[in-house]
Amino acid sequence: MKKIRFLIFALCLCMLLPIIIACGKTKEPPKTNDDKYAYDDSSREKAADSIPDDYDLENQSIGIFHTPARANDICGISDTTDIVYSRIHERNLSVEDRLNVDLEFMSSNTSSWQDASDMIKREIQTLSAAWDIVFTSNNSVIQMKLFNYFHNANETNYIDIEERWWYTDAITELSVDNYNCRFLYGDIAIGGLGSAGAIYYNKPLYEQYISADKNPDEPYQLVMEGKWTFEKLSSMVKKSHIEKGGDGTNDIYGYIYDNKEALHHFREGVGIHLYERNDQGMPVYNLNNDKSVDFANALYEFIYENDGALLDIPSEYTNGFTNGKAMFDLKRIGHVLQSNMREMKDDFGILPFPKWDEAQEEYITLAHNSATTCCIPISVDIDKANEEVSAVVEALASESYRKVTLAYYETALKAAYNRDDLSAQMIDIITGQHDTVKSTFTSNFVYEYSSSLGKLGTIFSTLINNQSNSFMSQYDSIIGAAETGMKDLIKQYKDGKI
């Protein structure tokens, strides 16, 4: 399956400007060493979608639903110095002009994803929805099993999920049968990339306390050589507890355990995908194996038997990473845009979540289950959904690729890691777009539907939160509910009921 491809590069003159390089269906010829970091953004600017140049919607209105939390990502801001939100606003105006369409944005006016889910469900069931496109947190429609409430993007006239502006692997992951794609991830909602898991590390601390050669770029080199593994990270964390003073208030730790969601990203990163597809494309669990047991033990040791882990977090270690008291920080790409990261004095690098071992072929990055999804509700007439609405969706996505995504990365990279080209390449790897290092940016069906599947999708985090590594005991206690939940989910999908 073709993946979206673009690269981020830095131009080194008076200042470094990270840029994303676009890859289309025709690959660019390999670069030589002399032009390794050369960049011509004309390919991105000229990237064409399949919508005819003379396409005209004759000023009809297309209603777009969004939640308040997603308002800036979807609507943009007209009067702002923020380049990302201003570009989103400009994108919307450009699509309106290009298609001769009126985009009418409608807020749910609720901050609760449950309330948003109830509203979406009610409005579509009664065919009273005033909107043609839905943007919402995926946990407000996926956890509630609302797949039959939306049209299949694969059968529309213009949406092409294999195009460079869509996150193809993540989209197909959320399909029950591996074909009917109701939930779209892509540049159309820029926060999707922000949901990608990432590990930050403090370069000065690494150089001073970990690297024998005093080389702060060693983790980058490990990634590039395929040697960035869970065991390697764990050993680095152990080495990172540096005692500084008698009372422990100034000690340095490997990491501060303040983000339990990182456990899901570790699980996906080491290649435990929870399930596989059968011949009919349906999901089947594949978790009962030695690797799951080994990983549960390794994760327990990483959290509870590691001197470099700070579990009970005193107040002086709030924001410990940005204050130079932790070697690693386990977060997401979007975290780099937060003000405390922008103000961090120490230089830091960004890494993908590690592989299980060097034999694993690729790095795997998980999109968090609070990412934004785009859907076309079935309350929209099928002909309109496949024609006019799909044209608007594809136009918004492709225009985002041409204009918005670039601004997002420029802003993020300028804030933190615009000092070296290897950092830019790490972003390529995290998002599954590097030329030579194999990687995938994806979601996970069982993780997303975990609440309906006996909580199997969160089995490892449940173990760790219960301070246990007894994988088989936990698995045996929930597999019955997980199997029943999967049968019910597939039946509901096949029945097509809402």
Q: Check residue 406 and give its pLDDT.
A: 80
Residues contacting 88, CB < 8 A, separation 6+: 72, 73, 74, 75, 76, 77, 190, 400, 404
Q: Check residue 412 and give its pLDDT.
A: 58
Q: What is the pTM of this model?
A: 0.87
Which comes out higher in pLDDT, residue 191 or 4?
A: 191
- Segment 279-285 shows an average pLDDT of 96
Partnered with residue 135 across adjacent β-strands are 374
Q: Check residue 420 and give its pLDDT.
A: 62
What are the phi and psi torsion angles at 30 (to 5°)?
Answer: -60, 145
CA 134 – CA 66 distance, rounded (Å): 6
pLDDT at 364 over 70: yes
Q: Are 324 and 202 in contact (CB under 8 A)?
A: yes
CA 226 – CA 221 distance, rounded (Å): 9
Q: Measuring CA to CA, which residue among 366, 369, 372, 375 is closest to residue 183?
A: 375
Instruction: Please write the tens of the pLDDT for every residue from 206-247.
Output: 999 999 999 999 999 999 999 999 999 999 999 999 998 777
Q: Which DSSP string corresponds to 133-187? A: EEEEEGGGTTTTT-GGGB--GGGSSS--TTSTTB-HHHHHHT-SSSS---SB-BT
Q: Check residue 411 and give its pLDDT.
A: 65
pLDDT tier at 480 (50, 70, 90 boundaries)? very high
pLDDT at 198 over 50: yes
CA 228 – CA 33 distance, rounded (Å): 25
Percent of the chain with pLDDT over 90: 70
Ranking 13-17, 159-163, 278-282, 478-482 by mean pLDDT, the lowest is 13-17
pLDDT tier at 413 (50, 70, 90 boundaries)? low
- Segment 279-288 shows an average pLDDT of 96
pLDDT at 40 over 70: no
Q: Are 395 and 98 in contact (CB under 8 A)?
A: yes
pLDDT tier at 251 (50, 70, 90 boundaries)? very high
Which comes out higher in pLDDT, residue 29 or 339?
A: 339
Instruction: Count CB atoms within 10 A of the CB of residue 128.
Output: 9
Average of per-residue pLDDT values in the chain? 87
Which comes out higher in pLDDT, residue 63 or 80?
A: 63
- Segment 71-98 shows an average pLDDT of 93
Q: Check residue 405 and give its pLDDT.
A: 86
pLDDT at 322 over 50: yes
Q: Check residue 259 and give its pLDDT.
A: 87
